[in-house]
Chains A and B, each alone.
Chain A
Amino acid sequence: MQKVYIYKRFERFWHWVQASLIMFLALTGFEVHGAFKIFGFEKAAEFHRTASWMLIGLIIFAIFWHLTTGEWRQYIPTTKQLKEQVIYYISGIFKGEHHPTERTGLSKLNPLQRIVYLGFKLVLVPITIISGILYMLYKTFDQNNLIVIEDYPLASIAFWHTLGAILLMIFLVVHVYMTTTGKTPTSNIKAMITGYEELDDDQQKISADKITKSE
């Protein structure tokens, strides 16, 4: 048994705050959308607005952290072993095979995660946040006030924002499920809480084998 430090302190803080904010935003956001009633429209809209600024603030910190620590390199997409990773989730996982890729502090994301998280960070979140900011600042012509957005239909801003929200919810479902595919069903979540992931010697050996094979 070997403990590997994978998730750094800021990373864990960022992950869990972002997760809770996104879930809270979903709750209030879909209430504003009219899907259900919990807080009442007025409170829901108010909470949604407050939480959205918090999320934006958090993401600014996260971007800064990724850039300054070089962690952004973790997300450089690769096709190497991508196919193996997909096949593993489709069939290998059922047969009790080991993960085709190894997780270390230097490379903590598998090729599939790299692509999905990159899409999350560069497409999904920006769509939702940009449309959300436009939604929040939506303003039409007024005698005195400045025009921020003029004659741009709110319906299309709302479309993109809702689309982003729905995709985020689908991401959430799949993402939470995928955390159970670690060594044990809870080992990945534990790693995201403590920062350490336990890698058994067996896995170490396999990765060592692989290295010799590829050589």
Chain B
Amino acid sequence: MFRTLLIVIFGVIITLIMVNILHQEDNYNLKLETLRHKYALKSIPSVSHSKLPALQRDFKTPQEVTEACLSCHTETHKEVMASSHWNWERASYVAGRGISSAGKNNVMNNFCLGTNSNQKSCAKCHIGYGMSSSHFDFNNARNVDCMVCHDNSDEYLKGASMAGYPDRTVNLENVAQSVGSPKKSNCGSCHSFGGGGNNVKHGDLDVALNSCSREVDVHMGVNGMNLECVACHTAENHNIIGKLYSVSSDNTNRATCEQCHTNTPHLSDVINRHGSRVSCQACHIPQYAKVNSTKMAWKWSDAGKLKDGKPYELEDSLGNHNYMSIKGSFVWARNVKPDYIWFNGTADHYILGDSIKSVPVQMNTLNGSYSDRHSKIIPVKIHVGDQIYDKVYNRLVQPKLYGETEGDSAYWKDFKWDEAVAAGMKESGLLYSGKYGFVKTEMYWPVNHMVSPKGQAVGCAECHTRNNGRLAKLSGFYLPGRDQNKTLDFVGYWMFILALIAVFGHAAIRISMDIARNKYEKQIINYDEDKPAE
């Protein structure tokens, strides 16, 4: 009886243990649920600008709208005019340069190269009116463009090549009465279109994010949390947190996943511990450019081919330009697996006037390595290309690309590099030798958006694998599953084989000797049996 009881108790315990081991369901992550609840509640504005008397009028110029804004928000222009959205540069300490001011005014890229001498066109993405040359007055508050960020009617549109002024079709009264907190479409109107088209530059900032599914971006998806950009990129006093290292240099004021998710977001301790050297983005953004293609390569050296004396364009099967006479040839890609690098949050840039130190020219250098304990592995888009440089002074040059008319020395009208570079460098205040060539360049774009749902995150074995893993190119550290001590493995393997041979050899000798001995003994027995017969 007692024995049966023991067996029953033991059986029940074993069953319970097995159920616990074999039953696998996602555990409930309270941290995530708390965040979901917090961001599910959308704030309702306390003021309807359509009811304000100051905005019930016919605005002749956008500057009049700004004045109307400032009549209530009397000090806000000071905040805006302290921002890099307005100044197009930001001072920071850069190792090797000291206090360095970097931004769109002086940092070059390997897309449309740079803003100098092209301001009239580039200023479409400046939050001001009338930036038509490098002589823009950064102290005039009337020229602050409030509407581009705060228009909630989706009507506001900056004109093409109008130095930042709105398009002539825009009804300023409507826009002024419908201002509010910035939406995805406000931020996206510039940040999705960098480089002259949708998703050209970033690869992870696509106009499709304005209305996408959770699979494209788990935060912004309309069937998910449907967050606005400013939910993460908070903007106390117009100081917007978050920046990208295409123009930024220092490790401050960054928008991070950890600001909401903490640095221990997972239930698994092993995965949380990865966070000390692996960024969240590295696993949670398995690919970028999920909806529309992004530019991966841009060869300026191919520009200038004409058909019957006229510029032309070619398209690939997805409708992306792969050749434009004014710009050269491009390579596009969609659903791109990122490259991975070590990054510690600081960067250096190729600043107009710098000498070329190495080829390919690094348009921006993201600092970091395994041995730097503040570095983490981050995913990046690497944009490669070639662009024009001065062979004598050994530096990249700034050509004048945009012009209103032919004969204005603008490359996009005249297709003459010499004249375009001479004009661009003159505007930039730098010498040009007259001898140009094309040099290869590389630019690194950290990938931060298009976060996938957790089920699609990069699996362990995509990095922890002997060959062709995602981190195959990163070195200087031991990655389990990828790395091995080759000598130890070789010696160990052969020692194991030798042990097997020795054991089987020993066994073979034993068996054969045994058989021989048995025969001998049998012979003796036979001899004994034979004896009586004699």
Contact = CB atoms under 8 A, between A and B. Distances in A.
Interface of A: 32-34, 40-42, 45, 49, 89, 93-96, 139-145, 151, 153-155, 158-159, 162-163, 166, 169-170, 173-174, 177, 180
B254 interface: no
Contacts of B373: 140-141, 151
A4 B398 CA distance: 95
B478 A141 contact: no
Nearest to A42: B460
Interface of B: 263-264, 270, 273, 275-277, 373-374, 459-461, 464-466, 477-478, 480-485, 488-489, 492-493, 495-496, 499-500, 502-503, 506-507, 509-510, 513-514, 517
A34 B492 contact: no
Contacts of A151: 373
Contact of A162 (B464, B485, B503, B517): B485
B495 A140 contact: no
A34 B466 contact: yes
A156 to B, nearest CB: 8
Contact of A143 (B263, B464, B492, B517): B263
Main secondary structure of the interface of A (DSSP, over half): helix
A143 to B, nearest CB: 6
Contacts of A158: 478, 480, 483, 485
B496 A32 contact: no
A159 B478 CA distance: 10
A103 B478 CA distance: 48
B465 A139 contact: no
A33 B478 CA distance: 11
B511 to A, nearest CB: 10
A163 B270 CA distance: 24
A22 to B, nearest CB: 15
A145 B263 CA distance: 9
A14 B482 CA distance: 34
A166 B464 CA distance: 21
Contacts of A155: 477-478, 483, 485
Given A159-B488, A162-B492, A166-B493, 6 more contacts: A41-B481, A142-B263, A142-B273, A158-B480, A170-B496, A173-B503
Given A40-B461, A159-B488, A94 B513 contact: yes
A159 B507 CA distance: 33
B22 to A, nearest CB: 13
Contact of B503 (A34, A42, A163, A177): A177
Contacts of B478: 153-155, 158
B457 to A, nearest CB: 12
Contacts of A143: 263
A16 B459 CA distance: 35
Closest CB pairs A-B (n = 10): A166-B492, A142-B276, A155-B478, A41-B461, A42-B460, A177-B503, A154-B478, A141-B373, A94-B513, A34-B466
Contacts of A162: 484-485, 488-489, 492
Contact of A177 (B263, B464, B506): B506
B464 A41 contact: yes
A166 B270 CA distance: 25
Nearest to B517: A96
A141 B376 CA distance: 11
A188 B481 CA distance: 38
A174 B499 CA distance: 7
Nearest to B276: A142
Contacts of A45: 270, 460, 464, 480
Contacts of A89: 506
14 contacts: A33-B480, A34-B464, A41-B460, A41-B461, A45-B464, A142-B263, A142-B276, A143-B263, A153-B478, A155-B477, A162-B489, A173-B503, A174-B502, A174-B503
